[in-house]
Amino acid sequence: MRFIFNPCSGRRRNARLLPVVRALIAERALDADLVTTKGPGHATDLANEAVAAGCRRVVAVGGDGTVNEVAQALVNTHAALALVPCGSGNGLARHLGLPGSADEALLLAADPASPVVTMDTGTVNGHLFVNAMGIGLDAEVSRRFNSLTRRGLPAYAKTAFEVFFQRRSERCVITCDERSQAMEAMLIAVANSDQYGNGAYVAPGARVDDGLLDLVAVQPVGMVGAALLGARLFHGSFDRSRRVHRLRGEHFIIGRPAAGIVHTDGEIHETGATLNIAVHAASLSVVVSPAFALSDRESRSGSAEIRCLPFALNL
C-alpha cells in the first residue's frame, strides 16, 4: 500500500494528517509507505511507481485534483484507488459514500477488508476524468478557483457569482448516438458521478458503475433563473428545469466555435474546438463505503440492464 499525500489540498493545509498516517502505518504494521507530492503531476509519477512496485492499493490523501492524478496511473491496473478526501468539493468521495471526516476515511482506506468495486472513468480529448468534466461557465469558475488561496464552498460560490456576471454562451453542436443537435449553452458538463461536490447534484441519479456518462447542458438564463437553478442544484432536481437538457450515453462529440479551456475534475486544459468524450467502463478499482457496495450489488442483481439514449432530451 502507498499513501500519496498532497499537503496543499482544500481550504487549509492538511499537515496535521501526516503524523496520523505515519502512526496508523506503525500501529497496524501495514506493508505501506507514505510519500508527499511536490507539485502538479507529481501524484501521477508517485502512483506509477507504486504500480510498478506491485502495490495493491494506492491511497490519495487530497482533493479532486489529487484523486485525478493518482487515478491516471491506476486505470486498467491491478491496484485499487482509495480516497481520503481533503479538498474543497470531494465530489467522487461523496458519491462513493466515504466518510466526511478525513480520520474516518483514512481508517476505511487502510483497512484491507474494505469493499472494492470497479467503476467507470471518462476521457475528453485524451484527458482522464473520474468525476466530471465541463466547458463554459464551470470551466471558467474552475480556472479562477484554482488560483485562490482560500477554498471551500463560500469561495466557490463567490467565484461562480463573479463569472456569471461576465457570462457568455456558445453555439455548440452535441452528437450522441449518431444524432446531432445545435444549441446555445452557457455550460456543458459531462458527469460520471451524480455531483460536482458539496452536495451539488448536477446529474441526479448518475452512477460511476453503469457504463454510461451523463451530459448536462444549460441554456442561458438571467439572474432569477440562475438563482432557481442554484436551488435545484442542491435539492436534486437540477435536470428538471426546462433550461437544462440531459443525455446519457457512452460517447459524445461536442463541437464549439473555437478552441478553449475544459476542466477535468477541476483541473484546466487547453483543447481544440471539437471535444471527443468517451466512457471507459469498469476501468478503475476503488475502495467504497459498505453502503455503496451494497447498492452496487443490488443494482446489478436486477433484470437486464437498460441503456437510455437519450435519457432526457429536450434539445
List pLDDT tens digits, range 185-194: 999 999 999 9
Domain-located, residue 310: no
Strand blocks (E) in the chain: 2-5, 33-36, 57-62, 80-85, 116-124, 127-129, 132-136, 170-176, 179-185, 187-191, 213-218, 244-249, 251-255, 260-264, 267-271, 274-287
**Structure confidence by residue, pLDDT tens digits, 127-151:** 999 999 999 988 887 777 666 666 6
- The CATH number given to whatever domain includes residue 272 is 2.60.200.40
Does 45 share its domain with 156?
A: no
What's the predicted TM-score (pTM) here?
0.89
Domain-located, residue 299: no
Mean pLDDT score, 34-40: 93
Mean pLDDT score, 196-225: 93
DSSP assignments along 173-194, one per residue: EEEETTEEEEEEESEEEEESSS
Does 138 share its domain with 207?
A: yes
Mean pLDDT score, 176-192: 94
Does 256 share its domain with 215?
A: yes
- CA angle 173–262–78, rounded 5-degree value: 110
Does 83 share its domain with 202?
A: no
Domain-located, residue 56: yes
- The CATH number given to whatever domain includes residue 60 is 3.40.50.10330
Does 174 share its domain with 107?
A: no
Domain-located, residue 309: no
Does 257 share its domain with 209?
A: yes
* For residue 165, pLDDT beyond 90: no
End-to-end Cα, the chain, rounded Å = 47
Mean pLDDT score, 276-299: 91
Mean pLDDT score, 93-106: 93
Does 109 share its domain with 193?
A: no
Does 51 share its domain with 185?
A: no
Beta-carbon neighbour count of residue 54 at 10 Å? 8
Domain-located, residue 305: no
44 strand-pairing partners:
none
Domain final residue pick, 86, 114, 142: 114
HSE value, Cβ hemisphere, 13 Å, CA-based, for 89: 26
Does 40 share its domain with 172?
A: no
Backbone angles phi, psi at 210, to 5 degrees: -105, 0
Mean pLDDT score, 76-85: 96
Full residue range of the structural domain in which residue 156 is found: 127-281
Long-range contacts of the stretch 47-53 (C-beta < 8 A, 24+): 47/2, 47/4, 47/72, 47/73, 47/74, 47/79, 48/73, 49/2, 50/2, 50/4, 50/79, 51/77, 51/78, 51/79, 53/2
Higher pLDDT, 16 or 43: 43
Does 155 share its domain with 99?
A: no
Mean pLDDT score, 113-127: 97
Does 132 share its domain with 102?
A: no
> Measured on CA atoms in the order 59, 65, 71, 72, is the torsion positive or negative?
negative
Q: In total, how many domains does the chain have?
A: 2
Cβ 145 vs Cβ 161: under 8 Å: no
Residues 6+ apart with CB under 8 A from 197: 64, 87, 88, 89, 90, 91, 94, 131
Domain-located, residue 232: yes
Does 103 share its domain with 244?
A: no
Q: Picking from 72-81, 150-159, 245-254, which range would have the lowest pLDDT averaged per residue?
A: 150-159
Domain-located, residue 224: yes
Cβ 64 vs Cβ 198: under 8 Å: no
Domain final residue pick, 79, 114, 149: 114
Domain-located, residue 307: no
